[in-house]
Every structure is written in structure tokens, then in C-alpha cells.
Structure 1
């Protein structure tokens, strides 16, 4: 296969961006745009220094270092044709477990103008009910008291910014690339809350020297399993220990509030705007919410790949009705966006056989996803007296998934919910299905107060348990 490779000389590239969280999405999205931009000689100060902070990052760090940080990105077309790109924009890689001082020094370095983040929806350490930063967290408490030996992203950022301020190394932008509504506002609340609690002088400096633009990111990027590595390498002919694959659709919309300069990413397809709200509302309400909607019923039906689930006419009808009937009334289309075409494209993207995303990835960490993707529009629907059948069915499916951990084919499975609290575990274990409506991700609305929602939910709980997921779904979509 012909590999599309970069032509710039890495020796000429400087690092102007520090990225925390070098996962698959970052390597398929931000690195992809930046790699293309580095071909322009006037943009070669924008190479990326990757930072990994977790012990579990050891494998990816060693894999990338073994091949001079280069890797392959396979872009899987909806028409079945693939492109393989060689990505070289990752110029440095620091593992905080191994060398924490290097992370701090790099944040303080005057050449770094932007810190970008993919630390997941749950990584901002905010209370899901109040939105307040959780200062009581054990690791946060450690970092507040031991600023020189941080363990969290907030502690590292604070110490790096403190050194930056001390050395008079200039202003900086912190850009979240996580799937959160107003992710820049979220990042600002989290980082400034920590810094305010640790260092009042630094907090004052941050007010005038750090900006937090909002952004909207979109590219379906599955986790890469061992069998995927072999499959991708067989196709590309490259022995890559850290390949990534993704869909052919990509979008990145960013508010243009960069205090220390930025790459000319618009040359490679990034959209800059004064207000990202309409774009992120469209994406979170349609793509991410639909992913959550289809994930638990699909998993309970026995599907493990999203494209396989999208061959099920009942799943497709559930998703399409959700988009058209439930969500579209609450999604004003951004400028120059055809909403009907966008929804049609989403169905195509979900069904992409070349990507074949994992249903388990969509199920992962529902506790962080429900408050962001489902609850805002559900609250509006309840207030407006709308039909909430699909939302009640989703909630009942989520409970069944968490409580019984067995699909309708009799296969047992483990759930992955890193942010469940001890109280949540008790609510899941309870045989009184009403208790589940007190789960932490639902706290923004008292779902029990809506008799229409609660009674529909209870009916679905009983029917799913007695009949199985398939006949219940069939009754909804027919």
C-alpha cells in the first residue's frame, strides 16, 4: 500500500505545543492536522511535545519511543478505501512517572505557547451535581500540600505555570480537546479552582496570562486492540507498535482566543469561530448522545461492534427517531450546516465497516457521559411535555447493563465505570428500580419527580428483565 508520508525535516521542527494525554484520539485528530501544517516552513515552530502522566501509559510511551515517535494513522473510508499516513508531528514525549521535573520544565519553557488536553470527560475532577472542583480528592490534597512533587494534571500545570511566571516566560493558552460542552470553560474552572486553593499570587497571574478557548472535536477513533495492530500492519506493510485507525470524517472548531499565538490550523481544515456553542451543541446532542443511546441496548443484544449493531434495523430506527423527533427541536444548526445531511452522515459513520468501532468503548464511563450528552436535552423534553419513551428505555437499559452484567445471549461481561461512587454502587444493587434514578449522573434533574418519565422507566425495567432487550426495543420502534 502507498503510504502518505510527511516531507518536512524533523531537525527543523521546534515544539510550541505541549499535549497532555497522548491517546488514540489525539494521535488521529490534533496530530493529524498539525502534521499536515508542518509542511509549511513558516509553521515549523508548532511541533508537539507529548506528555503522559499515568503509570498505565508505560506501554504507549515505550512503543512510540522505539520508533522515534513516528507512527501510522489509517483513515478508513466509508466507501471501503483506506489511506495510511505517516505522522511525525510528535517531536518529544515525556512520561511524568519517569521524569516529573521534565514535565514541569517543559510547561515553563518560553517556546511552549499552548497546552492542549485530552484527559477524558471525567478527568476534570468536577462534582457532577454542582460542577464544583473536588478539592477533597486525595491526590488533589497531596498536590495542594506538595507543589514540587505533583501527581495530578492540575498539580503539574500549577507548578509549571509557577516556574513560567517566575522566569517571566510569557502568557500561554490551555486548550481542552475533550468531549464536553464548553470544554474551555470547564478546563478554566478546574485549573483555576486548583490554583486558587494552592497559590493566590499565581491565580492572579493566570487571570491575565492564560486563556481557555472552547473547542469542538469530532473523529470516531476506536481503541486499538492487539489484533488491530496486526491487521493494520499487514495492510500498511509497516511494523508499527503504536498504529492508530479512525474514520474519514473529521472536524475541529475552535474559538480564536489564543493569548500567545497559534498555528495556522485553518490551512489544514480547522474552523475558527468567536463562539463554538452551536457546533458543540449539534455534535454532543446528536453524535455523542446517539452513541450513548445505541450503546447499552446494542451491548445487551449481544453486539460488540458498532457497524454490526447498525445492521439491525431496530437499532437504526431507534437512533434516527431519537435524532429527528427528540433532539432536532433543540439543536439550532450552526452557520452553513445542513442538519439533515449531518444526521444522514452520522448514520453512515456509525455503520462504517472499515472503522468497526467497539460498542464497549461507547458504553465506557456512562457516569461521565450521561450528564453531558443526555441530561441537558432530557430536562428540556420533560419541561416541554415531550415524548420521553426512548430516554426512559435508555435509562432502563443502562440499569440492566450495570446491574445484571449479562446480555440476552447469556454472555456475562464486566462493566467499566471508573467514576462510580460507593453510593452509586448501592443504588445499582438495590432491587427497587426507583433507587437507580438517584444515580450520580442523573442529579441535575430529579427524574422521580416526573411521573411520566418514572412510570415509563419502571415499565421498561420490568419488560427488559422479563422479555429481554430485543422485543422491548421492537415494541418502541415499530
Structure 2
């Protein structure tokens, strides 16, 4: 017997499911969040839920927002259960389920007038984002905002009826400016180096296409704090829905399964005010950059490193990849020899301890994270998580064999088949182009590196070109398993 999740059934849920100690109806809207995906609901929404459970800051309720068709699907699923989410935290020795009620509304995607009106509401003092690394209109190679993107050009010409997140944010800010309302703080929670700066560039860059004075006003008056966020959160499938129903007796349209670990490091720059998140474990610092770089290069870079050999070896789950000694040892050798040595120090942090924690988290057998998820969106993730480390090592005259192997494995993956001949199905905005160039690279490795929007200066470095080309040929000749053996024996 299961209980269908809703506000009316909260008190009927099984005793092993935690429920909010606060009333959702007592919350007032203070934050609009774009991108109501699994990560947000396992991270920011959970921190706020913990704060509300402590009896604090009930004026900071969450309102969801989005611009994609998938956002409407999520909105309908959550609306049917009164915006509630069941969060299941688990590892080999820990499993809990609790319901969060920190979201109180979800704006309908496409209802531009209502979204802008809510953004202009003085009660809204923070607008936050988890729109993925590919949602910021950044040129992958340079890392600079691209004002020539068709969607940005459209919004500049139609700012009263924008289609992008940044168009909506700017339209809301413009209305607040016109009405004499203080601007809200814009808080990115995406895995991008300097995510606050990147978001500022996008909003002010769009504004510059409309009015240079408006762009300067954004730069002078709108806060864009940088942040580092961390929690491994897989996609939800029928597997997770079934586990929740069987093990906890809850029927949830879109539950979130995640690891127990979570982290949030945030610059304390909120002129319009903020919730007291330090009460629930958020670390406020003057400079997030060292923490952010550590996480992006060690954790996200680590995910990118193990994803493609695991896929080529037909491994389904991340923890299964970590059970394969070749992949586990490849990860630790790469991290210790090439990634960690070019990182700046992080206050109060041991890189060795942090790597040990990452390895333990990747090895969590209960999380159900898939290799396919890690393989997605490589054209955006490689330039952010892997190639900057390669560039740093090239500038320092240091070896890049392991990093070249990561890029070559990605190329081999993009060719469309695993070593056993199974298809490598993956999601990427550039999927068709990647496959074409990866197949060309089987005969001419330089063809893949010619995608300068991805590889930039790294792709024309003679040292990298030689290393990448040699390793890619080895991958085609010997396969991923034998190539990893050569790397671990220092014979690659």
C-alpha cells in the first residue's frame, strides 16, 4: 500500500519518511529559481527546507520558473503533488527519505508577462539558476559570452517578450528600475568557473545590445555572487519511483535520489538580503574561486575522465566503473599526477583528503548514477572541466599524457560505438557534428581538434596534437582496456 504524495496526505505518510515541521502555506515567496531539475531539488531546495524546519526565514520560499518544454513537464508533475518532493539520500550504510516543501509555486513556462511581473515583485530578492553549463551562451573555447547567438539577438530586439532566461531576468530588472524597486541578486548555481561573473556577462551583454547605459546600470547595481555547489544527483527513472514506492511506501511523480554529501560555498554579496543559510551548513566566503576550481577540476573533471572509458567498456553504473581497477587507478593517477599539481591552494583543505572523498563518493553503490549521464554534453563539459587543466600544464611545460587520454577517449566515444560495437547514445547539442569529426579523426586525428570552438589554443599545440593523435590511434588499435593498461604502466 502506497500513499500518493500531496499536501493533504503528508500526515499519512509512513513513519520512516520525514515530513516538514513547517506549513507550506506559511512561506512567502522570496526566491525565483530557473531550472527546477533534480540537482536544484536535492541542493538549494534542501538547504532552504532545513532552514524552514529550524523555524527560520520563512519569507524565502521558492518559486520555480523555466523556459524549456521539459520545464513544463516538470511543473505539471510537481503541481499534481502541491510542489512537494521526496528526497532519498543513500550510500552503502545510510538511507533516508524526507519530503521538502520549500517550493510554493512554479511559473508556467511561456507565460512571459506573468514571469516578468513576478520578477518585478519587490518581495523577490534573489533570482537563482541551475540551467546547466550549456545554458549561458558562452563560446566554449574562449569562455566569453557570445552576443551574436540568435536567441540573444532575438531577445535584444524583443525584450518585452523575451525567450531566454537572461532576457526574462533583464526584463524583470528593467521593470524594477523603472518602478524604483531595488534590483534582486542573481545567483548562479551551475558548475562554471566564476559562475557569477559569467552570469553578469550574459545579463549585461544582452543589455548592451539594447542600451549601453542599461548595461552599465546592471554592472553598477546588480549583484552576481559566485558559488560552488556539490551533490551527486542522478536522473530520475521508473527505477527510482519503484524503489521509493517499495521501500518507503510513497508514490511521487518525480522523486530525487542523491548521496548524503552536499556542499555549498557562496560569496556573501546580497545587497537585497538573503536567508541565513550559514545556519544549515552553507559556507560564506569572500572568494569562492579556489573552492570552485578544486571542485570543477577534481570532481567534475574526474567524472569526465571515467565516463568515456567506462562507456567504451560497456559499464552502466558509475560505482561499477569504480569497481574496475583499470578505471579507478586511471582516475587516481590522473588526479594526483596531472590535475592536482596545477591547482592553487584552498584554505583549510587537503587535496589528498578531498580526492579520497571524491573516490568514495564515486564508489557509492546505492546512488545509481549512470555512465550515460556523465557522458552527456561533452562539448560543453570538456572545455570547462578538462581542457583548462591541459592548457595550464602546457603553459608550465608539464606532461599531459593522462589529459590527452581523456580527450582521446571522448573522441573515440563520439565515433558512436563502444569497443564491443554497441551504440554510444548520448545527448549533446553538437552530437551530429561530433560524430562526423570523430569518425574523420580515425584516419586523421587533427580533424577532431579542428573544432576550435571547443579546443581553442590547446587544439593547435604541437605537444597536445602529437599526444592526442598517438593515443587516439592506440585506442582504435587496442581498445580502451588495453590503452588504460599502457597508461598505468607509463608506456603510453
Alignment TM-score, normalising by the size of structure 2 = 0.92
Residue 45 of structure 2 aligns with which residue?
31
**How far 1:426 sits from its partner (Å)?**
5.1
Distance, in Å, in 2 between the alignment partners of 1:230 and 1:418 is 31
- 5+ long unaligned stretches in structure 2: 1-14
Q: Does 1:2 align with 2:12?
A: no
1:50 to 42, 51, 64: 64
2:201 to 189, 199, 209: 189
1:83 to 93, 96, 101: 96
Q: Does 1:259 align with 2:257?
A: no
Q: Does 1:124 align with 2:136?
A: yes
**How far 1:70 sits from its partner (Å)?**
0.5
1:301 to 305, 313, 329: 313
Aligned pairs for 1:139-150 within 5 A: 139-150=151-162
Distance, in Å, in 1 between the alignment partners of 2:183 and 2:106 is 23
Residue 217 of structure 1 aligns with which residue?
229
Q: Does 1:470 align with 2:484?
A: no
Residue 239 of structure 2 aligns with which residue?
227
Distance, in Å, in 1 between the alignment partners of 2:476 and 2:436 is 19
**Alignment check: 8 A CA contact 1:118 1:178 kept:** yes
**How far 1:442 sits from its partner (Å)?**
4.2
Residue by residue over 1:263-314, the C-alpha shift from the partner in whole angstroms, topping out at 9 and shown as x without a partner, is 1000000000000111011111111111101111110010121000010001
Residue 190 of structure 2 aligns with which residue?
178
Aligned pairs for 1:91-170 within 5 A: 91-97=104-110, 99-170=111-182
Change (3 A) 1:199 1:421: farther
Alignment TM-score, normalising by the size of structure 1 = 0.95
Q: Secondary structure at the match of 1:107?
A: helix
**How far 1:201 sits from its partner (Å)?**
4.3
Residue by residue over 1:340-379, the C-alpha shift from the partner in whole angstroms, topping out at 9 and shown as x without a partner, is 2111111110010110211111111111111111112111
Q: Secondary structure at the match of 1:76?
A: strand
**How far 1:32 sits from its partner (Å)?**
0.5
Residue 427 of structure 1 aligns with which residue?
437
- 5+ long unaligned stretches in structure 1: none
Q: Secondary structure at the match of 1:344?
A: helix
**How far 1:138 sits from its partner (Å)?**
2.3
Q: Does 1:270 align with 2:282?
A: yes
Q: Does 1:63 align with 2:77?
A: yes
Change (3 A) 1:419 1:408: closer
**How far 1:134 sits from its partner (Å)?**
2.3
**How far 1:204 sits from its partner (Å)?**
3.6
Q: Secondary structure at the match of 1:26?
A: helix
Q: Give the superposed CA RMSD.
A: 1.7
Residue 417 of structure 1 aligns with which residue?
428
**How far 1:131 sits from its partner (Å)?**
3.4
**Alignment check: 8 A CA contact 1:370 1:441 kept:** no
**Alignment check: 8 A CA contact 1:382 1:450 kept:** no
**Alignment check: 8 A CA contact 1:113 1:261 kept:** yes
Q: Secondary structure at the match of 1:393?
A: helix
**Alignment check: 8 A CA contact 2:71 2:109 kept:** no
**How far 1:80 sits from its partner (Å)?**
3.0
